[in-house]
Structure 1
């Protein structure tokens, strides 16, 4: 029989609190707060395996009973969050956001939201974490997919326990290898050793890179079953090992800043998962750590941790959607308090009743789950159709602002023309080279914006343009230093064998004019004069450096159905680091080469920026990338003023 352990609920509290505070923006002390999800995976693996083992011992295990218990545990609160979020999404989301939300609902009820977010998360344009209220369901999908396979293996191999454990150990090792590969195995070595590429986002979202975390919990359950009681063989070391586990978790939460380590999951993930495992194995009620985790406030947070996990993301997202700036400290505290209140209500009135077999039979649970799943699919289709209809209705006399966003506000507009040009045009024609009418446009999405400026404003019509993409994560740099030393750990793999200006040098050699546009980082901006020098350009070649632009945090939904007069009054300050880097470039790059975009399009020393063009069109849909109208407006300014007016 499975014995309830109060300290496990306390461990759940250690997992959920850092996650919520991390997502709320408290990334100082909680820089690694996201590791709470990894701790949850270990706990889930342990509890599920313990339940299965206990039922095998009593002869009561059945797959039907197992999935009934999972439905009772997961679905009621999840469906509640889905329906509440759908109401706010219907009222507050833009058509494109609402359409993605509807697609998210489909992925959730088909147990594939992790696959959906993996497919849609390019790590740059798509602000999934901030603007999708259900992005956190990816972890539920990972667990659900694990639950589909794991109990079946246990069922069919119940009489071959040694083989089962060996098989699971091999799967865990393979999963860990794939996680580490996606977590930047290449970045720890200068060798270009490649025969398989596990994409970073794939190892983050998919079970291939996460199964080992659940299996660590499973192995803990196997160990405790064999040893009869918690930590029996290592009794005299319980205090030390449980304290070590707690220390591992605290260190992980405080120091595993994703900006300074390779992408999760990877070998660093062993720190929080090992910490959770040590507490499960040795943090019993006889230890100081076990008694600490068993105190009532922590146990209470652990009991409502599932509801807290479900509630926190929608509340934070909708708060961001209704504000043109990140929620302030007081607002965040209020949201966290509301999360706690709603989670308590969910626990008492949703979770507990549906777990009670006396109130709801297995047949009722399965039938209700089926009906609500069908209803959710219908709701998702309704929201997707509503998003499409809202855009179509604009042409019949509604606010054209929504139509503008639908057609030009998505990131695909930014990248499309530039990418197509790069794919079709690898080099200049001989005639262009001979006539000195060749332009190489090199950079990240800001270079893509520049290309859209050229197209929308019909600038540089006498030139042939070739484009070359270098991700903002990797930056434009040539010099004696190792470029990877300056790049955030999570992006090193992406920048190791690609996104390097050295691959653009043949194009640079051919070009008469070179335009560099990037979301410049301070480190690359300081070294830009050296980069330009080492390009070894001829005196006949001209170089222009286009500074970054920024319009603050833009929330397009705030301006729906507002008058043109209202929109024209909207102004915001750019982010301070963008202003700082632009001023640095202005001091180090010759005026005949540097284009200070912010100074040209914004007002005053603090460079306050209008959010709309003079005719009331939104300039940037996310604060940094341009709409079609923004590209036309900004392009007309920078190409008609010095130094680009010479072209």
Structure 2
């Protein structure tokens, strides 16, 4: 719920988008005239609609914690969307980087620098704010620990174990971060296996999708604070598989010069409409299920609904053929919420559980107070903590890139020297032989 590496389906506003976006976020722009992924150009910008999805997800979480729509488990829906979005984006980015390294026949050292860059970005993007929040909680009186992060006993909070993601010290909403960081270590292996399978990459997706769907339908994810990664692994894997599908489709479209015709677009829109209908019906626990006479059973406890496959495939469809759906999520307000989403996620409890806000009886007064104050607090946190962390990440990324480039140049140069010396030796031998020949 904290990643901001985004990249496709955009309309660039202004003459020079590089003046407004970090240099590291390099992605593609879909031609607005054809909406054809085969007619793309590289630009320094962001996948705007995915930022909007992130903003919508964090809005769901704040909505539930503020006391609205509690019957729909909107917070769980938002967290699931964060898991899918995070795995989708990171898999796409790492896979494209890995493909480039394979094409270059990069050395192990260059792979090492690439992995160091990958892990440093993931860690430094989120951990500084998490660490400062943990220290602030440690310094707070127990009354505030209990009010904002539901810590029931003073001895239940241990700073060191909280900072090191101990399973027994994942307080309230902080349980999601250790799971995401744990998946960061799984993701590179998943990508490398998919690439090593070559054109048979799809073979492993058949059992994986069966496993994801079975887990989504029959695994109850309710005791979030104590659940290991394995309970949520199908959700992350669904996002990663969708990213692999997109990268493979994108490469196929570019290599074959495929053009989307009217029938192809209509077919994609039919699939997209069905995915949206199922997603909304699951989230709102009704809609088409009720209208078609197959109502869902009423939940007996708070749990996370199964939405990962639908949502991840929607990402693929919108990345391949953008529609008005992505335009909705490109709204500046949602994108800004997506930009500051991590700060919103970890800090909104300091607003919604403050007594004057929590005890507010007027519906609209409370709503405007909650979202207004949360955005102000998260904005301050973003520019004071997150943004400097991102600048540090960029500096480290530049340093890692220099090291990786140096390794890439050094090894071929050494090889060229050896080859040149060998050719020179061969020429000398030929001259000597020819000189000693009687004719």
Which residue is equivalent to 2:137? Answer: 85
Give the aligned partner of residue 214 of structure 1.
Answer: 236
Number of residue pairs the alignment of both structures matches = 325
Gaps of 5+ in 2: 1-25, 29-45, 102-109, 288-295, 401-439
Provide the residue aligned with 1:236 in structure 2: 266
Q: Is the 8 A contact 2:212 2:238 kept in 1?
A: no
Counterpart position of 2:223: 201
- Larger helix proportion of the pair: 2
Instruction: Provide closer, same or farther for how the CA distance between residues 86 and 363 of structure 1 changes in structure 2, counting only shifts above 3 A.
Output: farther
Q: Could you tell me which of 98, 118, 136 is aligned with 2:154?
A: 98
Give the structure 2 partner of residue 64 of structure 1.
116
Partner of 1:6: 48
Contact 1:209 1:265 in 2 (8 A): no
1:394-418 alpha-carbon deviations (Å, 9 max, x no partner): xxxxxxxxxxxxxxxxxxxxxxxxx
2:352 corresponding residue in structure 1:
316
| TM-score, scaled relative to structure 2 | 0.62
Matched, 1:352 2:387: yes
Hey, what's the Cα distance between the residues in 2 that align with 1:142 and 1:7? 25
Contact conserved, 2:340 with 2:379, CA < 8 A, in 1?
yes
Determine which of 186, 202, 205 is the counterpart of 1:149. Answer: 186
Q: Distance in 2 between matches of 1:155 and 1:109?
A: 30
Q: Distance in 1 between matches of 2:128 and 2:348?
A: 17
- 1:25 alignment partner, SS class: coil
**CA distance in structure 2 between the aligned counterparts of 1:241 and 1:312, rounded to whole angstroms:** 36
326 and 86 in structure 1: CA distance in 2 versus 1, 3 angstrom threshold: farther
- Match of 2:326, SS? helix
Structure 2 residue aligned with 1:277: 312
The 3 A distance-change label for structure 1 pair 232 and 73 is: farther
Query: 1:67 Cα deviation (Å)?
Result: 0.7
Does the aligned pair in 2 maintain the 1:31–1:256 contact within 8 Å?
no
1:46 aligns with 2:88: yes
Greater relative CO (CA pairs within 8 A, separation 6+): 2
TM-superposed CA distance for 1:288, in Å, is 0.7
Residue 225 of structure 1, CA deviation: 0.8
Contact 1:238–1:287 at 8 Å: present in 2 too?
no
Q: Is the 8 A contact 2:239 2:309 kept in 1?
A: no
| Cα deviation, residue 356, structure 1 | 2.0
Q: Is the 8 A contact 1:139 1:205 kept in 2?
A: no
Cα contact 1:10–1:301 (8 A) shared by 2: yes
- Displacement of 1:44: 1.0
Counterpart Cα distance in 2 of 1:176 and 1:275? 10
Cα deviation, residue 247, structure 1:
4.3
Change in Cα spacing, 1:289 to 1:97, as seen in structure 2 (3 Å) is: same
Contact 1:245 1:277 in 2 (8 A): no
* Post-superposition offset of 1:116: 4.7
Answer yes or no: is the 8 Å Cα contact 1:27–1:33 preserved in 2: no
- The whole-number CA distance in structure 2 between the counterparts of 1:204 and 1:180 is 20
State the Cα distance separating 1:8 from its structure 2 match.
Answer: 0.6
* 1:160-559 → structure 2 map (5 Å cutoff): 160-161=197-198, 166=203, 170=207, 173-174=210-211, 177-178=214-215, 180-183=217-220, 201=223, 205-228=227-250, 234-255=264-285, 260-261=298-299, 268-269=305-306, 272-284=307-319, 286-317=322-353, 319=354, 328=361, 329=363, 330-331=365-366, 333-357=368-392, 360-361=395-396
- Give the root-mean-square deviation of aligned CA atoms: 3.9
8 A contact 2:172–2:225 mirrored in 1: no
The CA deviation at 1:29 is 7.7
| Inter-CA distance 151–358: structure 2 relative to 1 (3 Å threshold) | closer
Q: Does 1:24 align with 2:66?
A: yes
Change (3 A) 1:28 1:148: closer
Structure possessing the higher radius of gyration over alpha carbons = 1
1:34-93, CA deviations, whole angstroms, 9 ceiling, x for partnerless residues?
211111111111011011111112226532111111012211222233233334345645
Partner of 1:193: none
Give the distance between the partners of 1:344 and 1:203, measured in 2 at CA.
27
Whole-angstrom distance in 2 between the partners of 1:226 and 1:204: 36
Q: Deviations over 1:106-137 (max 9, x none)?
A: 44422344x655xxxxxxxxxxxxxxxx4111
How many angstroms apart in 2 are the aligned matches of 1:311 and 1:276?
A: 26
Listed as ranges, the gaps of 5+ residues in structure 1 are 118-133, 184-198, 366-647
Q: Provide the C-alpha distance between the structure 2 equivalents of 1:175 and 1:250, rounded to a whole number of angstroms.
A: 19
Deviates more, 1:326-335 or 1:146-155: 326-335
After superposition, the Cα gap between the structure-2 partners of 1:262 and 1:54, relative to the gap in structure 1 and judged at 3 Å, is farther
